[in-house]
Chains A and B, each alone.
Chain A
């Protein structure tokens, strides 16, 4: 067995560390070492996107990255979306617009959509479909996921305006 290496990461704003074998995949690190099981393992072959998380601000498929590569970095997982017990507008959108059925793809889908809205707060339908092109959903046919993202984009821009008015 190869010698273990220390991995230090900031996960959803909290410092975590553990000694791991270099071959440990990031998704196993997240689920089994950090015990954050919101991130799912789907195909395990970097196709489906269920394991999508943000690593240093960018979406990656955590089944295709080693945990040691994340050392010193920042991770954002689906558990980080909720704030003060309030669902993120994206989570609310998925609930309101029925953006999921079985829910297996949802954590990865949420992370891709989160990243999309960060870069493009007012995406067109095509932008949304492009943004989730690395995430497979076998239930919804994507229609309601697109609506969920539109819902969230609307709510986020409304919140931003309200904040602007307060200032």
Chain B
């Protein structure tokens, strides 16, 4: 399949890229890892007249803890997250997530920033970032601003990024001691989007009660969802064998799946319940160890 013709730019700085975005507006598209955009171009689902390739901009790829946050550069590849000792040691929820995205070759190019900025509710990082309470740094003509992840996803393929803005960083508050998280995804085969997936992040207090909790849902609605009712039920309580299925049921109630090739809506709701149970149990286990 041959993509439609476009003009191609390789800016080497962020201001240059932003100037191009401003000049070409709606007709321009940012090329990051390209693993969603290029297939869309080949299928002619997207036809931008201008592609602005940000891959040659230095300094957009990093994973570091700084000023109370884990900071991930917008251009950081999934493969880099997967190989990062810091992620493996302290952010198992992110490692869980990145390992089930597509396949090794795709992860070598695909970027975390792109996974979020694409605004696809079937992508995996959005739910995880919702669970982690992340912030998005968007850099535009008037400088950088941060957007709460809860305010970032507007609707299908639509985010709070303004036309002239680039997602340059993801910030995750460094979890306090006794925190843990996990991501559980059911996919029909490697490389498929989730039939459903659940991200859970918890912090427990010294008595083992839930101090803070985040639950995110993948591909069960028009946008990535935060299971706020499930979170509210768990907050302040000790999670036992009775409470866990109740919270999981609330998460399933909050899911808004539609029936498609991956299964009927009822099945997906039941799946969210099971995945929520597993994700919360693993998260609690990790928080306590």
Does A pair with B?
Answer: yes
Chain A interface: which size bin?
A: 20 to 34
CA distance A43 to B110 in the complex (A): 19
Interface membership of A14, Cβ < 8 A: no
When the two chains form their complex, are residues B103 and A22 in contact, meaning their CB atoms are under 8 A apart?
A: no
Please give, as numbers and ranges, the residues of chain A lying within 8 Å of B8 by CB-CB distance: 2, 5, 22, 66, 68
CB-based A-B contact count at 8 angstroms? 79
> How many Å from the CB of A102 to the closest CB on chain B?
20
Interface code B213-225, partner A: CB below 8 Å = 1, 0 otherwise? Answer: 0000000000000
User: Given known contacts A60-B108, A65-B38, is B6 in contact with A133 (CB within 8 Å)?
Assistant: no
When the two chains form their complex, are residues B79 and A134 in contact, meaning their CB atoms are under 8 A apart?
A: no
Interface code B1-17, partner A: CB below 8 Å = 1, 0 otherwise? Answer: 11111111010000000
When the two chains form their complex, are residues A23 and B191 in contact, meaning their CB atoms are under 8 A apart?
A: no
When the two chains form their complex, are residues A23 and B6 in contact, meaning their CB atoms are under 8 A apart?
A: yes
User: Given known contacts A2-B7, A22-B7, A23-B5, is B38 in contact with A52 (CB within 8 Å)?
Assistant: no
Interface membership of A92, Cβ < 8 A: no
Residues of A participating in the B interface, judged by any CB pair closer than 8 Å: 1-3, 5, 21-23, 25, 44-47, 49, 52, 58-61, 64-66, 68-69, 112, 115, 130-131, 133-134
Interface membership of B237, Cβ < 8 A: no
CA distance A112 to B4 in the complex (A): 29
CA distance A47 to B104 in the complex (A): 11
Please give, as numbers and ranges, the residues of chain B lying within 8 Å of A47 by CB-CB distance: 191
Please give, as numbers and ranges, the residues of chain B lying within 8 Å of A65 by CB-CB distance: 34, 38, 109
